[in-house]
Structure 1
Amino acid sequence: MATITSLGVGANLDLATLLTKLETAESQPLVALQAKAKSYTSKLSAYGTIQSALGTLQAAAKKLGDPTLFQSVTGTPTVSGILSASSTDVSSAGSYTIDVSQLAQAQTLVSAGQVDTKTAIGSGKITIDLGAITGGTLNAATGQYTGAAFTADASQPAKSITIDSSNNTLEGIRKAINDANAGVTAAIVSDGSGAPNRLVLTSTATGEKSSMRISVDGDAALQGLLNNDPAGTQNLKQTAAAQNAKLNVNGIDVTSATNTVKDAIQGTTLTLVGTGKTGLAMKENSAGVKTAINDFVKAYNSLQSTAKTLTAYDATTKTAAALVGDSTLRNLQTRIRQALTTPQAGGVNDMKVLTEIGVAFQKDGTLAVDSDKLDKALGANLKGVANLFSSATGSTGGYGKQIDAIVTDLNANALKVASDGVTSTIKKLDDQYDAMQVRVDSTVDRYRKQFNQLDVLIGKLNNTKSYLTQQFDALTKSSK
């Protein structure tokens, strides 16, 4: 069958435009499906926005539901540069006088200088013990002890390190010690002299039990470099002694192997940074609690604002937001508000409702904070405020814990069911669209074939007409 490459040429008709209009008409159901799918996609996106707002609210509630928030105590030294303090025990609140006379530090030993770091020194076995040096005297110039004793620390087993042809240079020895995890780090420092390269050994831990005793079973050169017994031969120079931190807290002497001193004051961690005397005021961290409460109120109000935007209707444009009339959103708002207006059980001196701490609902459904009232509640009864939000450890009481649990349930059930339902609908609409597209394409293809046949037929008829016209004209001329 003859075909027409440009539709309408044979018939001299605008069949291409007609086909386009027919295709547009046939595609109207597709347009409707697209609009419907778009509305459901917007709804799914809106659920995601709600989940995000709920996540922010849950994080704020979870913080208030943690009892440790209300047990935090802030320490303020009267003299800076000596220590910082923090506590998770409200019983530590009070005033203290602390005198730090000595900071904890690790021992450092330095070897004799070597001309080159890559020259072989000797082979053998190095054994490193960690422990305490007691008695005797230290020569500050030589960094060596006289008449001292060394007591190995049984909790830190000795480590042996093999030195052979593969690692018997200064660089190789440094790497071997570092790889051994012997409680010692090694470095090479150049002092700029004729034999500048010195091996520097430092204990990884602070405290008087971090002193080193190093014995070498091997070549004399290796022994001469590293043998070091505080109670005997010492070939290394001590440049820093292993020592405990020493401090006095309200007249009581305290020692610590580290500069992080725990429980010298019950439940408190003191971090020492310098020596000297300072006062220390330990106060309940009501400021942190106030910030957490304000953050919770902001998160709740943000959820309300988000819900209002997603349920808005513009009367001028007659357009509705994605969740207008949505029961899932309405129910979750109601559930959260009901939880926040239900009094807590609490004890005799506990707060029972949010208004007791200055947090109240407004006419528009948001929460507002009376800062002065909140400050008074925190100052007068921090424990009661704590039980309002977190109750006892392991219990489910308290607004913080309850809202946390409600959001978890909403995400796992109501919102998930709603989101899954919308997702399923979108999938069905996609399937309907694909099926409808196939039908539209088939119909338009049928129209195109029919128009092509019409074009061919009319083209033939026009050719026949032209032929007959020519023949009649010829006969007319010949009869004259």
Structure 2
Amino acid sequence: MATISSLGVGSNLDLATLLTQLQTAESQPLVALQAKAKSYTTKLSAYGTIQSALSTLQTAAKKLGDPALFQNVTGTPTVSGILAASATDASAAGNYTIDVSRLAQPQTVISAGQADSKTAIGNGKITIDFGQITGGTLDPATGKYTGATFTADASQPAKSITIDPTNNTLEGIRTAINNAKAGVTASIVNDGSGTPNRLVLTSSTTGEKSSMRISVDGDAPLQGLLNNDPAGTQNLKQTSVAQNALLNVNGIDVTSSTNTVKEAIQGATLTLVNTGKTGLSLKENTASVKTAITDFVNAYNALQSTAKSLTAYDATTKTSSALTGDSTLRNLQTRIRQALTTPQSGGDMKVLTEIGVAFQKDGTLAVDSTKLDKALSTNLKAVANLFSSATGSTGGYGKQIDAIVTDLNTGALKVASDGVTSTIKQLDTQYDAMQVRVDSTVARYKAQFNQLDVMINSMNNTKAYLTQQFNAINGTKS
């Protein structure tokens, strides 16, 4: 069948414009579906915004629901540079005098110098065990004991290290000891002498039970380098003695194998830095609690503000927001507010207004800082019970709001979001099906217009031919 390259050329009619107008008319249902899908997409995005605001509220609630927040104690030494202190038990609060007379340290021993760290020394098995050196006399010049006793610590099993031709140099021995993770750190120090390379062994732990006893079963040179028994043959020089930390807390002597001293003050940890005497003030960290409460109030108000903007109605333009009249959001707000206005049980304080947190006429929360400060300073335990009851319990506003948000995210809000998502998918399917129908209808119109164009063009050609013939006949007669 004959065709026309451009619609309307054959008939001299504006068929292209007419086809466009028909296509626009046929596509109106598609426009309606697009608008509907857009509204649902906007609603889904709004639910996402609500979920984000709820997440912020839940984070703030979790913090208040953690009992550790209210047990946090800050330590302030009167003299800096001696120790640091922290506590997670409010019972540790108080003032202390602490005198650190000695820090804990590990034992360090060094070998005789070797001319070359890459020359083979000998093969064998090195055994290292740990324990305590008692009695005897230590010669500071030689770093060796006379008349001492070594008592192995059963809680620290002996470690064995094999030295063979693959690692029997000073460097190889160093690497083998470190790779064995035997509780010893090995290094090589060059002292600049004629035999400068010295193997340095340092216990990985501090305390008087971190002294090393090293025995070698193997070649004589290896034995001569490393055999070291504080109660017998000593081929290594001790440069640092294994010792406990010694301190006095309020007149009571305390010993610790490490410089991190736990429970010398019940519920507190002291980190020793240097020797010296200092006062220490341990106080309940009410500032962090106040910040957490303020953050919770701000998170709740942010949720309210978000909800307000998503449900607003502009009477002038008669325009609704994404969640105007949405029951899911309304029920969500109601559940959270009801939880925050339900009195807690089992404590001196039962409602938020007792700590200066109160609802305003616009539905937001406000904090009376003076009243909150007083509550925190006079009865922190009651404030703690208000937000976070005993471990394992579900009482306390912090725990309850945390649980409600989890329930909403996995329940009502998820159901609503999933419903909107399902509707959007259905609209997409409808749109695709309708697009096929519109395309088919427009294609039919176009084919009909093309036929019309061809027909009129043919008629015009016939007319022109007949006119020519009639003119010729008339010319002949004349």
Q: Shorter-chain TM-score category?
A: over 0.9
| Displacement after TM superposition at 1:465 (Å) | 2.4
Which amino acid in the other structure matches residue 246 of structure 1? Answer: L
Aligned to 2:443: 445
Which amino acid in the other structure matches residue 371 of structure 1? Answer: S
Aligned to 2:477: 479
2:280 match: secondary structure: strand
2:454 equivalent to 1:456: yes
Aligned to 1:413: 411
2:344 match: secondary structure: coil
Q: Which of 339, 349, 367 is equivalent to 1:369?
A: 367
Aligned to 1:121: 121
- Count of aligned residue pairs for this structure pair: 478
Aligned to 1:55: 55
**Structure 1 residues 164 and 9, CA, compared in 2 at 3 Å: closer, same or farther?**
same
| Displacement after TM superposition at 1:313 (Å) | 2.4
| Displacement after TM superposition at 1:339 (Å) | 1.1
2:321 equivalent to 1:343: no
- The whole-number CA distance in structure 1 between the counterparts of 2:292 and 2:111 is 55
**Structure 1 residues 156 and 26, CA, compared in 2 at 3 Å: closer, same or farther?**
same
Q: How does 1:29-428 map to 2 (within 5 A)?
A: 29-347=29-347, 350-428=348-426
- The whole-number CA distance in structure 1 between the counterparts of 2:238 and 2:11 is 109
- The whole-number CA distance in structure 2 between the counterparts of 1:472 and 1:239 is 132
- The whole-number CA distance in structure 2 between the counterparts of 1:48 and 1:283 is 42
Does the CA contact (< 8 Å) of 1:145 and 1:230 recur in 2?
A: yes
- The whole-number CA distance in structure 1 between the counterparts of 2:444 and 2:97 is 97
1:231 match: secondary structure: coil
**Structure 1 residues 200 and 451, CA, compared in 2 at 3 Å: closer, same or farther?**
farther
| Displacement after TM superposition at 1:117 (Å) | 3.4
Question: Cα deviation per residue 1:348-393 (whole Å; 9 max; x = unaligned)?
Answer: xx10111111111111111111111111111111111111111222
Aligned to 2:27: 27
Q: Which of 444, 455, 467 is equivalent to 1:469?
A: 467
Unaligned runs of 5+ in 2: none
**Structure 1 residues 100 and 19, CA, compared in 2 at 3 Å: closer, same or farther?**
same
- The whole-number CA distance in structure 1 between the counterparts of 2:269 and 2:113 is 42
- The whole-number CA distance in structure 1 between the counterparts of 2:422 and 2:264 is 61
Which amino acid in the other structure matches residue 12 of structure 1? Answer: N
- The whole-number CA distance in structure 2 between the counterparts of 1:315 and 1:246 is 77
Question: Cα deviation per residue 1:148-170 (whole Å; 9 max; x = unaligned)?
Answer: 22111111111111111122222
- The whole-number CA distance in structure 1 between the counterparts of 2:457 and 2:202 is 102
- The whole-number CA distance in structure 2 between the counterparts of 1:242 and 1:446 is 97
**Structure 1 residues 450 and 386, CA, compared in 2 at 3 Å: closer, same or farther?**
same
2:324 match: secondary structure: coil
Question: Cα deviation per residue 1:86-127 (whole Å; 9 max; x = unaligned)?
Answer: 222222222111111111111222223334433322211111
Question: Cα deviation per residue 1:399-455 (whole Å; 9 max; x = unaligned)?
Answer: 111111111111111101111111111111111111111111111111121122222
| Displacement after TM superposition at 1:464 (Å) | 2.2
1:24 match: secondary structure: helix
Which amino acid in the other structure matches residue 278 of structure 2? Answer: T
1:120 match: secondary structure: coil
- The whole-number CA distance in structure 1 between the counterparts of 2:196 and 2:476 is 128
1:74 match: secondary structure: strand
Does the CA contact (< 8 Å) of 1:346 and 1:388 recur in 2?
A: no
- Bigger mean CA offset, 165-174 vs 207-216: 165-174
| Displacement after TM superposition at 1:194 (Å) | 4.1
2:417 match: secondary structure: helix
| Displacement after TM superposition at 1:316 (Å) | 4.2
- The whole-number CA distance in structure 2 between the counterparts of 1:81 and 1:235 is 38
Does the CA contact (< 8 Å) of 1:217 and 1:223 recur in 2?
A: yes
Question: Cα deviation per residue 1:25-61 (whole Å; 9 max; x = unaligned)?
Answer: 1111111111111111111111111111111111111
Cα-Cα RMSD: 1.7
User: Percent identity, aligned pairs only?
Assistant: 83
